[in-house]
Amino acid sequence: MSLVSIASEGLSAEIDPQGAQLHALRDGEARELLWDGDPAVWTGRAPILFPIVGMLNGGQYRLGGATFHMGKHGFARHKAFAVSESGPGHAVFTLVEDAETLAVWPFRFRLDLRFEVAGAGLTMTATVGNPGDRPLPAGFGFHPALRWPLPYGQPRERHRLTFEQAEPAPIRRIDTQGLLRPDGLTTPVKGRELVLEDRLFEDDAIIFDRLESRALTYGADQGPRLEIAFPDTPWLGVWTKPGAGYICVEPWHGVADPEGFAGDFRDKPGVFEVAPGESRSFGMSITLRP
């Protein structure tokens, strides 16, 4: 499927209908802000996580006495979305249930991903709709991989995340099976700042489950930075492979199963419900600041 391009005076983006994945993000001088998906390192660029975030215990979940199997981060990132709207500065991609999804997640649904650029900002809005006749439980997450370092001449070691609020709460980690460990660990955030270092990610992602902020900035202490807002998601993952050329800033409404979790899917941490005939939206924006 062909990439869909959108642009404004300060930013341009390409979106792949396969997975409704942001494929490229460039500033007004065509400098790359998004990871290129190098298959020697990690093929992802900005996958959409739906209807789960992370791993399931044993790769399966229980729902009303039945057991279903589903892979890490759900199926949306592997599905072809329809291009339901497209204009110079925006595009909308839509996924609905089919026989393949019903076999692993027995619900009718509509997932719309809207991408819009204006000025130097990109807004991504995911809307989960329930056309069925019973409550729809789900998780959702964004997973964009931003260039580390950004293309503005500053070295990797000078890049940091600066949260809008102080973040003193302990962080969480996942175990070798991809499940959420029960213990909290001392946060590496100092006040509002997380200085990015490869050693932070030797045990996989940093997970914030008691997050005060709903926005942060990413970049070096000099030069342009990216302002990232995520008003609708209470969890945040930050991840890279040590030494790789990207940092993922991942707003989530959901998380991997806790170790030993064997409850009903509706009781899984972070799962939300959408009533019949209703919808719920999640937004994320990335804005280039001088």
pLDDT in tens, 238-279: 999 999 999 999 999 999 999 999 999 999 999 999 999 999
What is the amino acid identity at position 41? V
Whole-angstrom distance, CA of residue 26 vs CA of residue 148: 14
How much of the chain exceeds pLDDT 90, in percent? 99
Assess whether pLDDT exceeds 80 at residue 150.
yes
Span 205-238, pLDDT tens digits = 999 999 999 999 999 999 999 999 999 999 999 9
pTM as predicted: 0.97
CATH fold of 4-289, please? Beta-galactosidase; Chain A, domain 5 (2.70.98)
Q: What angle do CA 128, 5, 7 make, to 5 degrees?
A: 100
Would the CA dihedral through 5, 7, 12, 15 be positive or negative? Answer: negative
Cβ neighbours of residue 87 closer than 8 Å, sequence gap 6 or more:
6
User: H or E segment at 103?
Assistant: helix 99-104
Q: Supply the mean pLDDT for the chain.
A: 98
Q: Grade residue 1 by pLDDT with cuts at 50, 70 and 90.
A: confident
Whole-angstrom distance, CA of residue 64 vs CA of residue 58: 18
The alpha carbon torsion through 25, 2, 129, 269 (nearest 10 deg) reads -50
Whole-angstrom distance, CA of residue 192 vs CA of residue 64: 42
pLDDT on residue 34 = 98
